[in-house]
Structure 1
Amino acid sequence: MSSPLASNAGPIALAAGLTFAAVDISRLLAADTSKERIAMMRETPFQMANALYFVVFIGLLVCVYLRFHADAGALGAVAFCFALVGTMDMAGNMWFDGFAGPWIADVAPEAILAGGSGMLVVGGFSSYVLFALGWMVFGIAGWRARVFPAWLGAAFLVAGVLGYNAGLPPYGIPIGLAMAALGWWITSGTQSARSVARRDEAAA
């Protein structure tokens, strides 16, 4: 029997994708480039938008599992690992921006102005690369394994390329919209299958 999460994969992916895109739009609106970086990071709307961005990354992780929890072959397993690791890595980056960044701006603003170095740069760069690669592989594998149609695979591939800059708005929006499209496709396909089943039962 399907789990409640798996049976509701379509609505979950649709809601997660739309929410992800909406939150990235709110981050774009909250980023007041006319102000100094420290002053902007101390503002409540900016802090809330970045903190919420971390939360919606969890929705993407759930959707990755829902789409590849069934057997999709070796390539599907690779895609699952790539997308999972990349999204977790970027989620950690967003957690830092949403929760640690504002605190550092208050207690040690000179650290923000100095920028990153050493392992901090390595960690940040890895999140960008792995997030982009993860969703590119997700799109290719999903199409090759026929988990979803080619146009959705292409959407995730393009969104993955743009997702290299997902830490900065509005580059996370394509991933959100691609996920929402996947949710819509799953939902409409499920509804069609149920309609056929009801017609068969009525004919019998």
Structure 2
Amino acid sequence: MSSPLASAAGPIALAAGLTFAAVDVSRLLAADPSKERIALMRETPFQVTNALYFVVFIGLLLALVSVYLRYHAEAGTLGAVAFCFALVGTMDMAGNMWFDGFAAPWIADVAPEAILAGGSGMLAVGGLSSYVLFALGWMVFGIAGWRARMFPAWLGAVFVVAGVLGYNAGLPPYGIPIGLAMAALGWWLTTRSARGRAAVTEDSAAEGRAAQE
């Protein structure tokens, strides 16, 4: 029996991708470059949009899982590799965005000098790993997902480009390409399902006419 997540993979991916891109647009609008960093981090619109950015990462992960559940039987080992790379990279970046959305505003209030000091040591390692793994994860997803026939070549290319740009996804607007890539995948899945249902309906009607004759 098909999982409900797998059955709804198209709409989930479409909604998650569009929401992800929209939130990153809102982050871009809230990030006033004319203001100092600490002052900006204390503003409500900036804090809210950054917190929402972590939330839409959850949607991105759910979309990824639903797409994999939809095709895991046909995708085989290569599809599993694509899924795992994207999953690890997205989870790592989601952790980074949780810090930016919930911990960083508090630090800006109680210890602003820590923000101005920048990252070093394990904090720098963790931050760099999230950027690298997020970009690499979606690039591998695009290549391996296409090779595993989870989606067509043009979608694979879209994910590769989005992955390259996604290295800077911690800053707006570089998260928008990943959101749009996932939305495109959702649109493709949804229209493909609609065409499949239409074909089944047409075949059933043809069989009915043949039986009557």
| TM exceeding 0.5 | yes
CA deviation digits over 1:45-88, x for unaligned, max 9? 00000000001011111121122222312121111111101000
| Letter of the 1:62 counterpart | L
2:101 to 93, 98, 102: 98
Structure 2 match to 1:9: 9
**TM-score normalized by the length of structure 1:** 0.98
Structure 2 match to 1:151: 154
Q: Report how many aligned residue pairs link the two structures.
A: 204
Structure 2: state its 5+ residue gaps: 208-213
Task: Give the Cα separation in 2 of the matches to 1:197 and 1:108.
Answer: 63
Q: How does 1:85-124 map to 2 (within 5 A)?
A: 85-124=88-127
- Contact conserved, 2:57 with 2:94, CA < 8 A, in 1? yes
Structure 1 match to 2:211: none
Q: Determine helix, strand or coil for the equivalent of 1:190.
A: helix
CA RMSD of aligned residues (A): 0.7
| Letter of the 2:63 counterpart | C
CA deviation digits over 1:86-125, x for unaligned, max 9? 0000000000000000000000001001111100000000
Q: Measure how far apart 1:192 and its partner are.
A: 0.3
1:198 aligns with 2:201: yes
| Letter of the 2:22 counterpart | A
Structure 1 runs (4+) greater than 3 angstroms displaced: none
Q: How does 1:22-101 map to 2 (within 5 A)?
A: 22-69=22-69, 70-71=72-73, 72-101=75-104
CA deviation digits over 1:131-185, x for unaligned, max 9? 0000000000111011100000000000000000000000010000010000000
CA deviation digits over 1:3-55, x for unaligned, max 9? 21111110110000000000000000000111110000000000000000001
Structure 1: state its 5+ residue gaps: none
